[in-house]
Amino acid sequence: MTDSDIRGGNPMTTTDHAAVWGTKPDRPETWQPVTDLDGCSFSRYQVSDKGRARNPSKVLSCRAHKDGYVLVSMSCDHKDVCPRRGRHTFTLQKVVLTTFTGPRPAGQEACHSPLGPACNWWPEGVRWGTKPENHRDMREAGNAVIPEPYPCRNHERCGQMVKNPGRRCVAVCVPLVARHATEMLDRGMALRAVADRFGYKGTDWLYRLAVDHGYTGTREQAARQSPRLGDRVALWFYLRKVSDV
């Protein structure tokens, strides 16, 4: 197979492939009948695990979507009666994945390897995966077009995403920190100790957060205070309860 063969069905050339992976994958190309897509059948077509599609007479030429995805058009078996007129256009990744892996699992999306959206080789280049996995791939490929969602540091509990790694989400976890921090300050815990508790280097932001939530002491008071003897046991129990926010 030559580069131009590959190019006919996929903008990713074998040369690109070798440059990015550092090796030239040397494996046979496998063809499968295109599986049903969106309720239509395409029994005249086959798709390969190297990201090409063909009908009985030729390898189909593809075009690139403006985002870099490869698009392929095929006529369905019932084009005369199909309510979707004309040829049906799909992303090649969808045709490859649905045929070789199966339908998209609930909650997953088509993920590209760091090689980017033009590489539809299966399984090296495309797979079904979760949204965070997909965005990691897109960042590595330099194709992230929307703010990268990272899991909130408490993602297991809140299920939220954030723009920067290691942060807490504004929807659920920041308000929780604010509430807990305010409680701690109200129980006499020093501002620095509260900040440490939540892993913050500085104390400014946490202090402002607590004031927004009703803490009435000054910054200096917050910095100097320590729990009275009678509050310590109650505070200890409280801290145990909120230790994982």
Residues near Zn ion (CB under 5 A)? 40, 76, 82, 84, 152, 154, 158, 160, 169, 172-173
In angstroms, the CA 106 to CA 163 distance is 24
In angstroms, what CA-CA distances link 189 with 91, 215, 237? 57, 12, 13
Closest CA to 193 of 227, 218, 217, 237: 227
Nearer to Zn ion, 169 or 195 (CB): 169
Nearer to Zn ion, 141 or 245 (CB): 245
Nearer to Zn ion, 1 or 171 (CB): 171
Nearer to Zn ion, 169 or 184 (CB): 169
How near is the Cβ of 240 to Zn ion at its closest, in Å? 20
C-alpha distance across the termini of the chain, in Å: 56
How near is the Cβ of 50 to Zn ion at its closest, in Å? 26
How near is the Cβ of 238 to Zn ion at its closest, in Å? 20
Query: What are the φ/ψ torsions at residue 105 (nearest 5 degrees)?
Result: -65, 150
Nearer to Zn ion, 130 or 225 (CB): 130
How near is the Cβ of 84 to Zn ion at its closest, in Å? 5
How near is the Cβ of 80 to Zn ion at its closest, in Å? 10
In angstroms, the CA 92 to CA 70 distance is 6
Pairing relationship of beta strands 53-54 and 46-48 according to DSSP bridges: antiparallel
In angstroms, the CA 91 to CA 25 distance is 23
